[in-house]
Structure 1
């Protein structure tokens, strides 16, 4: 349901709190999927106003505040408190207190890049932060506020908010060495929420369920802000709750009769593989109207298998909604409307590698592209040659360039023109260069690949150089600057593989490859919390490089399986 037009979300929240004060805004599900804590619109408005008073006493308008909070209602209160105080919220992953060393470097890098002066957290990190005072000064020098700590009794009026002001920074882009915070304005946020609501067509009986993390654009906007914008109940659960037992997600949809829910492609595949026939028989998914699938490549195979597995549980094929979006466009760029079936195209793989679109009748030799629907309201998408910046002809694959009210202002603190492009022979309007390859047919967007070497695993964006740095320091026999991390498709899913050159001497025994491989796997797992599908050890000088000496990661996907230079190859068991 599209509400009256407002200048920012605080106006909208105050409207909800006045018109429907006792209505459920958001609730939190326990691990057994029973409803736990809840927030009405009035409670959310009052609690965020109270925390905002504390924020206003510590931070000037435009200051940045890191939100180091787990999935839950405290995060929601803190986010709206920042909006009300005119402070720019910076959602980041909340580290587990017992494993804080794994992610503290990334938090420090983001805090330094954003020049954060305030950190909003909970009591779980109170003691942990004393342990990294010397090594991570930016985190320790900031003012720390506990959401459940002491706050002002009297709420203050919201600071003046201009729609072109930055509302929050979305750090889903950039490597650890060079973090990139997308500057999402209040206008970006409201325009994209309206576009999503119009496309989804939610109604007074709509119910949302979300397990996606709140520091991710799909979790924050799709799972938290969208229900508040539309005026229907939203229920949150932790990502760990879903990943540990995928059936919890579908149990929540079933018990709450949810209509709006989704996630990356891997989530649906996990449900197929991990939920037993006996468990499926207890589910009622007939209420599910909009099952969005995005944040990573959408696969026809996954949707077919999920539909078959849960057909007897009431899931309907017409509920599928492949979507396309990115943080730089706030969230959604394209997606199907309710009641419309999704479309696929069977393409010739050889032609696709040459950036041409040719139909292929042989499924074994072809590549299936899934349509992600037409662009949302007031959004234009062009297919452009990335090198010449000339619009592609019909039947060609190119880089997707996007223009619309959801396109963010750029990256925080970055002055280089990495965010926008100008089409040759156009009227001069700027577009967001997405880095994604695809084409448009019958007004619908199809994604075929990526220009960048970015790796996306379960919706997480992993930069190869971060993994490579971890690998290079995992064992002394690995040659410096002789490692490549890249994505491969293993058992139908995008996975991470690494190839490294190692030095061997006559004194090394036959167990060296096994020791190096084990060290690599352990280091990557502990540092990045991702498993490696394949580890290949190579002789010195084996990695393909450009004339300037850069490793050609994309070439490894084709050449590595045929390489006679491999000393050993270890696949995940």
Structure 2
């Protein structure tokens, strides 16, 4: 049984450590990457999880709804392993979530999907949308595959299904058709297309055949490497495409005509960038998927030949999903043909001397691929085969011909089993619906028999557009024609609409916006005529081609012709609105949009639309003000940054729009949206946290005698370049003699060394001996805490697993605004990988730097070191949740034999000398309090421990063997409150503080805080937490175990006087200009 899996498995055995796929961000940095082996492991992990937890079986269809990235590809292969049929669907386009949901819903109905696979970023976007729009999608299992971790579950069963996947060819919402693509189709088409082991660069949509098959399936089969990035990143910065080809010496890349034209636009790629471009490695640069403009081809070839592009490498091609992908290749010439004769289906090339005023220039798409039979057929005259030079429909035969359309037997027979008159044997042909002719043995495509509209490689059906236009009450049903016209080589969408009354003309902008909103298509022109003047057949069917012909000829009796320039369309998408659909927004609404550079129609969440954590905090603040200005002060309290991160921009602004109408439903809609989201989100979050702490471990432990060769007893440190990391390095240098390997996120060892030095230098080391020791003993290792195997190469992983004896796991993402899902990679899965390393090959001891935040907003009078908050109580923000999960993972691993210690600092402050780089919430709040001279009488325990003391004592305790498998609260021995701290600060700054009760203190902070204050990004967090902080007023931390072992160590240091601690905080704030001297 032919299978792409068997071929990819062979490549994996041949090249296990070779890069298979890498995905880049807009700056060209690798954000995701898989070797052949790690990709196989990941797909098996997903398949195993699906097999264990869901009742999906062979032949079930699942939709793959992912943003650009590698998760969709892993899910695709996981499905193939189980015999499940994946169905890639359109990711939400820039035109909005609604259009995508509508398309997905019809596809789900058409293929009778059983589930939807997606990732964390889309999961909540879709969930929110489906809350408003109940449909088929809302009834399916929604599975977030990014939450599936590597595990040692039993390998999944390998279930073969001849059908590999369904490729939906149309952008249509009402009549989608799923092409049934088999393993055999892919293998045969690949054999005829890929002629070497390629290195490819692709930004093409991964749900599209040219992107998915051409750069993710073919390349895997051939043992190649793909560097991918998002289509939107190409639009933002087309130079990224050429830079990536240059950087990785790519041999293959492809794009539609518009992309090459886009690169030629003035200013799109600067001269400075061009100077660094080298395209000489390309063997295969293909233009396909839409009409190919000869002038674009020629201009691109001429311009970029100066930058290494070989003319032979650049060519045009023709293909379609019904024939798997490719039909012809290597078209490198164009000719001018007599335009009038083309209208009569005759192709006559003009000579150099002929008049070109009535000519059409057409690009060759090359010759048919091996084992591909191509005929030109006259579909209007009994399907007769036409001779060379005659225009007809392109018909195809070959093993790349797919099995038909899913669940459309009659249509499949018409399209995939057409017969040519006079042919008796092997007479089952694929009708492409495309018009073309053969000239000099090469294919020239000149139009479409079917009415399909293709814009930038995306397919749309006219009747979808016509149906929406007809919904206008001033337009007569059945009297609308939509078609595409080519202008300057670009396809544009035009609508001819028959109106009922010449005195009542519809609002063209409203129609355009409706189509853009629901279909994601931008109309170029709308032509209004009387309904009786729309061309139809004798049976009453719309004659789209005839209406188009009459418009071009000027014989259509036009009442009004509305043209939307590209500039107008773009502006309309951002600022114009259909006044019959959207309310008249007030000025402050538009200021909100303009300030954050939003259109209000974005399909993505606020975080995915480009807002960083600070901007997100600003947006939350401004949204609260907006609601208060509207008289909804009570609703402003429902604004929660954690939930805002999950809301789709278009959904949020649709709700806000209701406020402008002063509808009584506005309050209800807003509150319900946040309540529904909060309820579902909390359930999902708690479920994920509970399952995360149960993650099992798969590495094999060897005894010391089984390990060959000499071993080091080195130390591994994570989080070495953060605030606390340099202090730990200093303490390790002072108290130990071993080499210290530090995991650093960097692209090179040189960059890693520089990052380490820069962070270590924040300590102002005066001892030359210590500096020399740093250079000699501290060794960076490039990796990433959030990635599998800590992002280490196999060589580095194996080395560390044998030569490291002790691990200090300090690495974590500290952020009070981000949610659990966002912090999970570094804080939770990173801890899992550290435990995996600790249990791999050689037993190691883990010293885990946790936090007292694992108790959340606990109101227990005394929190003992033996407590661990097993019941997940009082955890409502991402940092506390993720650190709780990692704490639990270490504790469970200790129960199962891991030697470890858990250190839980409370508030780590700068050293007594003001060293470090600490800008957490406590420092920001203190700086704000000094600036405004305000304090609080709250009696909450404030346990500031200077970073140098905390690091020293952690390393000191870890040096005592009997302290293993215990937990330590790294807190001050004596109780102190914020009032004690401000009392000392008062003397240092020479000013008195006005103290407020906590309930009064927070409003004082809110009233004085501006966007320029360092505290501002955390203001929402502080406001939402005030009740919880008040409830904890009498909670205290017990640190008996910490004191005991600290005092046992010869290196242990007692607490500094509170005056010295506050002096260090003051120096830090002063030095970093957080306060005025």
Relative to the length of structure 2, the TM-score reads 0.49
Please name the residue that 2:1044 is paired with.
none
Q: Would the aligned equivalents of 1:383 and 1:438 in 2 still touch at CA under 8 Å?
A: yes
Name 1:523's counterpart in structure 2.
514
Match of 1:140 among 113, 138, 142: 138
State whether residues 95 and 516 of structure 2, in contact with CA within 8 Å, keep that contact through their aligned partners in structure 1: no
- Residue 190 of structure 1 is matched in structure 2 by 187
Shift of residue 177 of structure 1? 1.6
Separation in 2, partners of 1:98, 1:488: 22
1:277 Cα shift?
Answer: 5.1
Compared CA separation, residues 98 and 347, structure 1 to 2 (3 A): closer
C-alpha displacement of 1:35: 2.4
One of 338, 348, 369 as aligned partner of 2:362: 369
Does the 8 Å CA contact 1:28/1:36 hold for their aligned counterparts?
Answer: yes
1:386 equivalent in alignment to 2:379: yes
Greater shift, 297-306 or 477-486, is seen at 477-486
User: Can you list the C-alpha shifts for 1:96-126, whole angstroms capped at 9, x where unaligned?
Assistant: 7994222211101101111111211112233
Q: Which runs of 5+ in 1 are unaligned?
A: 1-5
Q: CA deviation at 1:572?
A: 2.7
Aligned to 1:3: none
- Aligned partners of 2:388, 2:299: CA distance in 1, in Å? 32
Provide the residue aligned with 1:159 in structure 2. Answer: 158
Give the counterpart of 1:458 among 456, 459, 463: 456
**Aligned partner of residue 193 in structure 1, secondary structure:** helix
**Alpha-carbon deviations, 1:424-475, whole Å to 9, x = none?**
22124211111111122343222121111111110000111111122222x4
* 1:323-362 equivalent positions in 2, closer than 5 A: 323-336=317-330, 342-361=332-351, 362=355
Q: Does 1:549 align with 2:540?
A: yes
List per-residue Cα deviations over 1:108-159 (Å, max 9, x = no partner).
Answer: 1101111111211112233332542584442222222211113564252443
Q: How big is each residue's C-alpha offset from its partner over 1:274-317, in whole Å with a ceiling of 9 and x where there is no partner?
A: 52452433422222221101111112111112123323322232
1 CA distance for matches of 2:502 and 2:327? 54
Q: 1:432 aligns with which of 385, 410, 430?
A: 430
* 2:528 matched residue in structure 1: 537
Deviates most, 122-131 or 47-56 = 122-131
Q: Which residue of 1 aligns with 2:253?
A: 261
Q: Which moved more, 1:452-461 or 1:174-183?
A: 174-183
1:190 and 1:297 map into 2 onto residues whose CA distance is 27
Deviations along 1:143-198, whole A, 9 cap, x unmatched? 22211113564252443325xx111000013732221100001111111111111x
**Contact (CA 8 Å) 1:422, 1:428: kept in 2 or not?**
no
Q: Which has the larger radius of gyration?
A: 2
1:200-249 superposed Cα distances (whole Å, 9 cap, x missing partner):
x324xx42000111110000011211221221211111111112222221
Q: Is the 8 A contact 1:335 1:375 kept in 2?
A: yes
Change (3 A) 1:343 1:491: closer
Give RMSD over aligned pairs.
2.1
1:44/1:77 contact within 8 Å kept = yes
Instruction: Look up the SS of the partner of 2:265 in the other structure.
Output: helix
Aligned to 2:20: 25
Tell me, in whole angstroms, the C-alpha distance in 2 between the residues paired with 1:289 and 1:70: 29
User: What is the CA–CA distance in structure 2 between the aligned matches of 1:179 and 1:400, rounded to whole Å?
Assistant: 22
CA deviation after TM superposition for structure 1 residue 383, in Å: 1.2
Residues 301-353 of structure 1: per-residue CA shift (max 9 Å, x gap)? 111121233233222322222111100000001112xxxx7122321111111
CA contact (8 A) 2:67 2:91 kept: yes
TM-score where L is the length of structure 1 = 0.91
Contact 1:117 1:141 in 2 (8 A): no
Name which of 475, 484, 488 aligns with 1:487.
Answer: 484
CA distance in 2 between partners of 1:131 and 1:284 (Å): 45
SS of residue paired to 1:419: helix
Q: How much has 1:523 moved relative to structure 2?
A: 1.6
Equivalence for 2:97: 100
Instruction: State how far apart, in whole Å, the 2-side matches of 1:77 and 1:211 are.
Output: 17
The alpha-carbon distance between structure 1 residues 181 and 98, as it changes in their structure 2 partners (threshold 3 A), is closer
Superimposed CA distance per residue, residues 347-400 of structure 1 (whole angstroms, 9 cap, x where no aligned partner): 111111111122223333212222212211211111111131121123322211
Q: CA deviation at 1:269?
A: 0.8
- Tell me which moved more, 538-547 or 399-408: 538-547
C-alpha spacing 1:494/1:134, structure 2 compared with 1 (3 Å): closer
Which residue of structure 2 lines up, in the alignment, with residue 236 of structure 1? Answer: 228
2:372–2:398 CA contact under 8 A, matched in 1: yes
Stretch deviating more after TM superposition (549-558 or 145-154):
145-154
Cα distance in structure 2, aligned partners of 1:263 and 1:53: 36
**1:317 paired to 2:308:** no
Size of the aligned set, in residue pairs, is: 550
Distance 2:202 2:81 in 1: 24
Task: Give the match's secondary structure for 2:169.
Answer: strand
| Structure 1 residue 50 displacement after superposition | 0.9
CA distance in 2, matches of 1:424, 1:97: 46
From the two aligned structures, give the one with the greater strand fraction: 1
- 1:44 to 2:43 alignment: no
Distance (Å, rounded) in 1 between the aligned partners of 2:63 and 2:563: 39
Higher relative contact order (CA 8 A, sep 6+): 1
In the TM superposition, what whole-angstrom CA distance separates every residue of 1:38-88 from its partner, at most 9, and x where no partner exists? 100001101101111123342111111111112211011001001101100
Partners of 1:61 and 1:87 within 8 A in 2: yes
